[in-house]
Structure 1
């Protein structure tokens, strides 16, 4: 009941339109920048080949080699991922990678007041009389997740449609399969950060403090992942990167089930921990 009521309230609010507009504008900006850079590089290569008198087949070969090199850079040189993502336009993969960095902040803006918005004015007391605190928390979390996953699907679909119009060899079968794959990866990634937002929202009575603390937590996880990634091979400091959710994002598109399962299990573990902490705080709080 809480889930359905919160979903209806969120969908009818102006916020969901603003969130969709914000997500759309950011994705469109990245899409245009990446598309412009790709087009400029392709034209430059064609011009250089024309100057030396190379034929069209040489241009196609050079472009393919450049594509493979850039794809290898994006996926860390994993040959299995390079083969699996070989049919996906680079613009889709680049936008996906960039939006994964932006998505946690977007989630924080979306749900920073899901609990603190009720705790601050004490309107939550009228809900806890009729429902358990755990039901209240999970209902709000699931409603935010439903709206978020719908918004992500809309944006992913728009990006893939753009890629289909600009890439002639992007077949309908590859379109559908990779759309589902990229959307599932975004789902797994998003739910852990949404659980973090739920936890931060339950810590404070003020929604503004919840948002600020949430952003600090995101920055802390990003810093931990960066420090662990920059540590020398075999250094104990390098293991701290496993404490950051961002570390497990690379294998969300992996074609082998074992690698994807490890990342999926890590994000599920983070989500359970964050939701458990949120429930502990809500049960201990004087409402």
Structure 2
């Protein structure tokens, strides 16, 4: 607990939190603006064609609803329960969530690639291990990065939902607050496994630069395993490699049914535990 608090204070005072918040907010704002512009343009073109065809306001509204349901079905893999649960959330929020979730592991790697290797290299970590167990040092560093990340993500998610509320006056405050917590909770579950992966990569090498490169390599390998496993036929044994990738389990993080959400949450908890145990094994065997 002491190490967690000290590491968190150091991260905040170093200015890294401000830089990371700026980086993440700029990326999210860019995605939000682009997605919002494309969505409005498509909707405008559809409405214009309907008006030229002599359609009334009811037909226009029905066409807009059908287009929204089509996009929602694509984003949720046509899961009826998820489509119904997310039907009141603006499409722009869902699209931005999906895109930012895809790039979030890279952001996490940039955020904490030196959390352990930054002190193992110059051997300053030995001053910590004299006063605390190595497991406590590792867990404190992991929790400090996770806490900082979740705070930054909450700020960005809040800004996205407020922006969506401004563009969609019918987006009720109660629905906004409930879904904000749901989306933030999904991000928490998703992020912890990748924070643990970053901790593992940072423990493997003395050089922070090498840790960062190796982390990106693993992220690419996981993405490739998921993509190949989904692309091959269901009869191919290669399809099972997707189950070894954390990104495969992100689809049900917003699922309204507890069993479906628990399956994804349990998978991410298992990945986080495996990565942290590996990091502890490396740190315990390393000559500090």
TM-score range, shorter chain: over 0.9
Aligned partners of 2:257 and 2:68: how far apart in 1?
Answer: 22
Determine the structure 1 residue equivalent to 2:101: 100
Determine the structure 1 residue equivalent to 2:118: 117
Determine the structure 2 residue equivalent to 1:126: 127
Moved more, 263-272 or 16-25: 16-25
- Deviation per CA, 1:40-68: give whole Å up to 9, x if none: 01110111111111111111100000000
- Deviation per CA, 1:165-212: give whole Å up to 9, x if none: 111211111001000000000000000000000000000000000000
Counterpart check, 1:70 vs 2:71: yes
Structure 1 residue 234: Cα displacement: 2.3
Determine the structure 1 residue equivalent to 2:223: 222
Moved more, 155-164 or 11-20: 11-20
Structure 1 residue 245: Cα displacement: 0.2
Counterpart check, 1:232 vs 2:233: yes
Aligned partners of 1:163 and 1:211: how far apart in 2?
Answer: 34
Structure 1 residue 17: Cα displacement: 0.9
Aligned partners of 2:165 and 2:284: how far apart in 1?
Answer: 49
Any gaps of 5 or more consecutive residues in structure 1? none
Aligned partners of 1:95 and 1:46: how far apart in 2?
Answer: 24
Aligned partners of 1:242 and 1:46: how far apart in 2?
Answer: 43
Determine the structure 2 residue equivalent to 1:6: 7
Determine the structure 2 residue equivalent to 1:192: 193
- Deviation per CA, 1:63-117: give whole Å up to 9, x if none: 0000000100011000000000000000000000001111000000000000000
Any gaps of 5 or more consecutive residues in structure 2? none
Aligned partners of 2:15 and 2:175: how far apart in 1?
Answer: 35
Aligned residues: 287
Aligned partners of 2:242 and 2:211: how far apart in 1?
Answer: 25
Structure 1 residue 155: Cα displacement: 0.2
Classify the secondary structure of the residue corresponding to 1:123: coil
Counterpart check, 1:280 vs 2:281: yes
Determine the structure 2 residue equivalent to 1:26: 27
Provide TM-score, normalisation by structure 1. 0.99
- Deviation per CA, 1:256-277: give whole Å up to 9, x if none: 0000000000000000000000
Aligned partners of 1:118 and 1:145: how far apart in 2?
Answer: 18
